[in-house]
Amino acid sequence: MRRPYSPFNNKRFIGNTNTNEVHDLDSETSNCKINEIKHEHVKTFSPDTHAEAENQDFDNCAWCIGNSKY
């Protein structure tokens, strides 16, 4: 579920800089634990795409995207 408030700002793809994982909030599961990510570890992407997250070397969340490399 997208979150309209900061630091998420209604973005679809959210990176966790602590784990270097990217999450798809349109496919989020309870295993993602998005609300437990510290605000200083939230990374948004511009453009807000999975490809941009991959370009910045973020790994897929195994739960909401799949095909995690690690």
Position 70 scores a pLDDT of 72
Q: In this structure, how many other beta carbons lie within 10 angstroms of the beta carbon of residue 21?
A: 22
Position 69 scores a pLDDT of 82
Position 53 scores a pLDDT of 98
pTM above 0.75, yes or no: yes
pLDDT in tens, 27-61: 999 999 999 999 999 999 999 999 999 999 999 99
Task: Write down the mean pLDDT value for the chain.
Answer: 96
Report residue 9: phi and psi, to 5°.
50, 40
